[in-house]
Homo-oligomer: A and B are copies of this chain.
Amino acid sequence: MALKIKPLSDRVVVEPQAAETKTASGIYIPDSAKEKPQQGKVVAVGKGKKDHDMTVKVGDVVLYGKYSGSELKLDGKDYLIMREDDILAII
């Protein structure tokens, strides 16, 4: 959360939350079979733009469409950077 990145405009940096690696019956799923995560934690928020005030805050857990955003590697960890409009909901 002490990420030193400043997203521009109405962009948000999201840390995808780890997908389940075990099925209900306890079988481990190999990496390539895991579903791409669609849930993540907001770690950085832009300042918005003239016609768009930001709603999400750092720490919010959000849902976003598969394939939303660009992948980003910071300090060896994977993040997604997307426009706030790609975020569906806060949970």
Kindly name the residue among A63, A81, A84 whose own CB sees the greatest number of chain B CB atoms within 10 A: A63
A47–B90 Cα distance when bound, in Å, is 12
Interface size of A by Cβ–Cβ distance < 8 Å? 28
User: Within A6-21, which residues are at the interface with B (CB < 8 Å)?
Assistant: 6-9, 11, 13
Which residues of the other chain, B, contact A47 by a CB distance below 8 angstroms? 55
Instruction: Decide if A31 is an interface residue (CB 8 Å cutoff).
Output: no
Contact of A70 among B6, B65, B90 (CB under 8 A): B65
A-B contact pairs, 11 of them (CB 8 A): A5-B91, A6-B91, A7-B89, A8-B56, A8-B90, A11-B88, A11-B89, A46-B89, A50-B51, A63-B81, A72-B89
